[in-house]
Amino acid sequence: MRSIKTYTITEPVGGRSRQFSGKVKAAETSNLSFAVSGTVDSVAVKLGEQVKEGQVLAVLDREPFRLDVQAAQASLEKAKAEHREKKQEFERNKDLFQKGWMTRVAMEQAQTAVSTALSDVNYATSKLNLAKRNLDNATLRAPFGGVVGERDVEAHTDVTAGQRIFAINVDGVMDVSISLPEGVIGDIRIGMPASVRINAIEGLNIAGRVTEIGAVAGAGNVFPVSVSLLDVPAGLRAGMTAEVSLVTAAEAHTEGVLVPLAAIAPGDTQSKGYVYVFEDATSTVRKMPVEASGARDNLIAVRGVNVGDVVAVAGVTFLRDGLKVKLMSAVGQ
């Protein structure tokens, strides 16, 4: 499978993309807590550590829960013994009643005693199951793979049921949180393409999409906006700073977009050629005819592709329509 370098189209001819600073955050975070109260016996993971589904994160002192299980087991055995005794007594009384040596009232009382004893068995069974469940809940495990984003617990401290112990960030899903002024927010749309640069990773440019737009302004009269990253590169961490390039709705309708000259495969005439657009759903490239209309710096203005398209920018002469490819790091703008 051929590897390709790509470029995300963010700038239309005659328009300029707007730049906004933001921070990388986990798109999905789950707060974890114990379902029971107790004293923390041990903590098995550190802040920022990668964890797997089912991995033990922390354990409470299990001895009180083991004792509860033993007590519940003893209560159940006692209830079962009493039930057997009442059942045997009922069978004896039943025989006596059939022989006419016992009244119906006494017979009914014996039958009621059996039912009561059976209810006691069922109750004791439920208590034992609950005690076993509490013992199991004394061990906190990761519900899915991810990264420990927050840790709020130390060994030998008391915690209560429902108290947050960890925040786990889901693997492979990252957003960038930015704040937009009121003069711009009206031009932003859900699904709008974005280009994201990570300041800590030189030369990295990631394609993204606007996924959330705040309805209420916060401090400074700015609106929160979330940009979802379409690809999460190795080394990216929540909390890293980022620069997000957005083309507002008004600019996005300008005719033509700017792409690197290296993205153009020659066509039949000087002003016509082709680009290969990466299709994320199929991991293939689609050959698209374009027409050049001018140039700016190291970019060429073309018509035939749109803002948000991801195009190949290296080795385009070796590509063909429908070729299956894999992505290398995106090229910075």
Q: Which two tokens stand for residue 21?
A: 């600073």
**Burial of 297 from C-beta contacts in 10 A (0-12 / 13-18 / 19+):** exposed
Q: Which pLDDT score is estimated for 296?
A: 65
Q: Where in the chain is the domain with CATH 2.40.50.100?
A: 36-61+139-169
Q: Where in the chain is the domain with CATH 2.40.30.170?
A: 18-27+173-246
Instruction: Please give the torsion angle defined by the CA atoms of residues 95, 98, 100 and 106, in that order, rounded to the nearest 10 degrees.
Output: 70
Q: Where in the chain is the domain with CATH 2.40.420.20?
A: 1-14+250-333
Average pLDDT over residues 186-210: 82
Model confidence over 283-293: pLDDT tens digits? 899 999 998 87
Q: How many CB atoms lie within 10 A of CB 96?
A: 15
Amino acid at 104: R
Average pLDDT over residues 39-63: 94
Q: Is 149 left (phi over 0), alpha (psi -120 to 50) or beta?
A: alpha
Q: Taking a C-beta distance cutoff of 8 angstroms, is the pair 203, 329 a contact?
A: yes
How does the average pLDDT of the chain come out, rounded? 85
Task: Count CA within 13 A, CB hemisphere, residue 240.
Answer: 19
Instruction: Please report which confidence band the pLDDT of residue 11 belongs to, taking 50, 70 and 90 as the band edges.
Output: low
Here the contacts of 300-303 (C-beta below 8 Å, separation 24 or greater) are: 300/258, 300/259, 300/260, 300/261, 300/264, 301/13, 301/256, 301/257, 301/258, 302/256, 302/257, 302/258, 302/259, 302/264, 302/273, 302/275, 303/255, 303/256, 303/257
**CATH of region 63-137:** 1.10.287
**Topology (CATH) of 18-27+173-246:** Elongation Factor Tu (Ef-tu); domain 3 (2.40.30)
Instruction: Work out whether strand 146-151 and strand 29-33 pair parallel, antiparallel, or are unpaired.
Output: unpaired
Q: Which two tokens stand for residue 132?
A: 């076993």
Average pLDDT over residues 190-219: 83
Q: Which pLDDT score is estimated for 284?
A: 92
The whole-angstrom separation of Cα 53 and Cα 56 is 9
Model confidence over 159-181: pLDDT tens digits? 999 999 999 988 778 899 999 88
Q: Where in the chain is the domain with CATH 1.10.287?
A: 63-137
Average pLDDT over residues 81-86: 90
Instruction: Please report which confidence band the pLDDT of residue 80 belongs to, taking 50, 70 and 90 as the band edges.
Output: very high
Q: Which pLDDT score is estimated for 269?
A: 66
Model confidence over 115-163: pLDDT tens digits? 999 999 999 999 999 999 999 999 999 988 888 988 999 999 999 999 9
pTM of the model: 0.57
The domain 1-14+250-333 is placed in CATH, from the list 3.40.50.450, 1.20.1090.10, 2.40.420.20, 3.40.50.2020, at: 2.40.420.20
255 secondary structure, DSSP code: S
Q: Which two tokens stand for residue 23?
A: 């921070």
The whole-angstrom separation of Cα 175 and Cα 196 is 10
Q: Which pLDDT score is estimated for 332?
A: 46
The domain 36-61+139-169 is placed in CATH, from the list 3.30.1490.20, 3.50.50.60, 2.40.50.100, 1.20.1050.10, at: 2.40.50.100
Model confidence over 219-268: pLDDT tens digits? 778 899 999 988 777 778 888 899 998 876 444 445 678 888 888 888 77
Q: Which two tokens stand for residue 291?
A: 């027409």
Average pLDDT over residues 291-313: 80
Of 62-71, 112-121, 139-148, 194-203, the one with minimum mean pLDDT is 194-203
The residue with greater pLDDT, 96 or 200, is: 200
